[in-house]
Amino acid sequence: KHHIFILKYLFHSKNLPSFSSIIKIAQIGAPIASSGFFFSLIYIVLGRLISAIDPIFLAALGIGHRIEALAYSACEGYAIGAATCVGIWLGADEEQKARHTATTAARIAIATLLPVSILTLLFAPFAASFFSSGDIHVATAATNYLRIVALVFPVMAIDSVYEGSLTGAQRTLPALVATVIGSFLRIPLALCLIPYFGVNGVWIAIAATTLFKAPAKYFAFRTADIRLSSSGTTRRSLALSPSSAG
């Protein structure tokens, strides 16, 4: 009975979104979904490169990702916060406050990730050994990965905040372009570095491309026209306003 009630509610004509709203949601959401798809696809290719060097390095990458998830989760939190606040201010026709909010969020995120970066650099060997079950080769590779990517944690914070800000401004396509290009560059860069640095070349490629994505998203947000059109009622309805948020 509950299922029948839910289906009737969902497909009642009054509850169905308009076609224009569906199109607008797809325009905003499709780049975000595509970004995640391409990001995962690149890691599949990188996984093949890493396993070709030595399969144990895949285990090292997995350990690195577990520990790196602490920094990543913090960045995601700031990205969601930036998207929400930017959307609120733009819904209230306060473009300058929206831009200022993004700048403030980036500064706070950097201040948060700096100590995380330092702690990761200091305690990477201990954390890697704890998760590697005593395998010294895996622990060493994981330690190297953590120490290399920890150097760009503050930059990763900028990347996340401005991706969130672009999302709040309903400008998700520039974030997609930056993510796809930056992620794709990891493959040729890794291929160039592996002969000189071994698997550390892959870790360097992962960290180095973050240095491209963050400025690209920052520049995209700073140069984009993020104002909501006065006649664009669909866009305004999709953005939060202070009254609806409170």
For the segment 189-206, what is each residue's pLDDT rounded down to a tens digit?
Answer: 999 999 999 999 999 999
For the chain, the three-class secondary structure string (H helix, E strand, C coil) is CHHHHHHHHHHCHHHCCCHHHHHHHHHHHHHHHHHHHHHHHHHHHHHHHHHHHCCHHHHHHHHHHHHHHHHHHHHHHHHHHHHHHHHHHHHCCCHHHHHHHHHHHHHHHHHHHHHHHHHHHHHHHHHHHHHCCCCHHHHHHHHHHHHHHHCCHHHHHHHHHHHHHHHHCCCHHHHHHHHHHHHHCHHHHHHHHHHHHCCHHHHHHHHHHHHHHHHHHHHHHHHCCCCCCCCCHHHHHHCCCHHHHC
What value does the mean pLDDT of the chain take?
A: 86
pTM, two decimals, is 0.82
pLDDT per residue rounded down to tens, the chain (246 residues): 455 656 555 565 555 666 677 777 777 777 777 877 888 899 899 999 999 999 999 999 999 999 999 999 999 999 999 999 999 999 999 999 999 999 999 999 999 999 999 999 999 999 999 998 878 999 999 999 999 999 999 999 999 999 999 999 989 889 889 999 999 999 999 999 999 999 999 999 999 999 999 999 999 999 988 876 543 444 444 444 333 333
